Structure formats: structure tokens, C-alpha cells
Amino acid sequence: MALQVARRLFTVDEYQQMVESGILHEDDRVELIAGEILQMAPIGSRHAGCVNRLNYYFVGPTAGQAIVHIQNPIRLSRYTEPEPDLALLRFRPDFYAAGHPEPQDVLLVVEVADSSVGFDRDTKMPLYARAGIVEAWMVHLPESRIEVHRQPTPTGYREVTQYIRGTRLSPLAFPALVLAVDDMLG
């Protein structure tokens, strides 16, 4: 007789209780993805520099209209609370102190992928699409390009466009904000 192992999935509330009780710490590099607590890859210098550049290019032009949310949680569902590298959120006067943002608060989510390309593309992008986040970017550092995912469906994004060096792009929420891929990649 084969032994069947049952998985015990955690809810976002249980995950938060683990932080409050000291089982997990705020500085632990973990995310709750589909009920599982996953260790995140360490952040390398190239990755950190890219996140800093993105922050630099988004903060000024969106001031007062959006909140630039850096490596902080977004509650996608009862079982999923990732920490994308950057998200543009609808402006709220409390700056989300009353609770983590949810999908309807997210204007754009950005994942910077160096060693995590497969996980970001195959796991996180479909999660963002299922949650109804209208636009998600994956900055693909190894190939020096940005994948722009739009038109979410329950099975993934219907539209995926590649932007390479020498091209420009704009987030849907801020069409007048034209960003050069070269500037974002460094």
C-alpha cells in the first residue's frame, strides 16, 4: 500500500500569525504562494540595482497619483501573498497601513528575474493573471529584456510582449510615462 502524503496549506492569516508569534521574522526571505511558504532567492547586486532604478523612474512621475510599493506583500487570495519587486498601487491616504493591498489596488506589478526567471514566468505571472492584475512586467536580466503581460485571464495573460534594448514602453495606468528599456536595465 502506497503512503499518501497530505499537504497542509497555510492561509494568509495563518502566515501573518507566524510572523506575529516569532515563528517567521519580517526579514525572512519567504513568500506565501498557493498556501506554501517558499524560500526566496537571495537578492544579488544586479537585481537590487535594477529595483533601485525602477523605483527611481517611477517615484517622481507617479507622485500623488500612485504609491510605489517595493518588495512588500500583496494579498492575492486567501492562500497567496507574494512580495513582488515593485508594484504601483492606487493612491490611498493611509499608504496601506490598514492592510496589505489586494488585486484591485494594483495598477502594475514588476518582478525582476535573474536566477528566478522560470519561477517568475511559470508561477508568479499566472498567479497575477488569475487575481485579475491588469499588467505585470518581468524584467529578464539574463536576456536584457522586459516581458509585458496584459489582458489577464484565469489561465494566464492573453498578451505578452517582449521589449528589448533600444525600445520604450509605458504602463497602462500611466501612458504618458514613457520609459526606455535601456534605462531600466542599466
CB atoms within 10 A of CB 164: 13
Domains and CATH numbers, the chain: 42-185 (3.90.1570.10)
Alpha helices in 63-124 (DSSP H): 117-119
CB atoms within 10 A of CB 147: 21
What is the model's pLDDT at position 152?
98
Tell me what the pLDDT averaged over the chain comes to: 94
What is the model's pLDDT at position 1?
60
131 within 8 A of 103, measured Cβ to Cβ: yes
Who contacts 110 (Cβ-Cβ below 8 Å, separation ≥6)?
54, 84, 85, 86, 87, 136, 137, 138, 139
Share of the chain above pLDDT 70, in %: 99
pLDDT tier, 116 (very low <50, low <70, confident <90, very high otherwise): confident
Who contacts 16 (Cβ-Cβ below 8 Å, separation ≥6)?
none
In tens, the pLDDT along 131-175 reads: 999 999 999 999 999 999 999 999 999 999 999 999 999 999 999
pLDDT tier, 27 (very low <50, low <70, confident <90, very high otherwise): confident
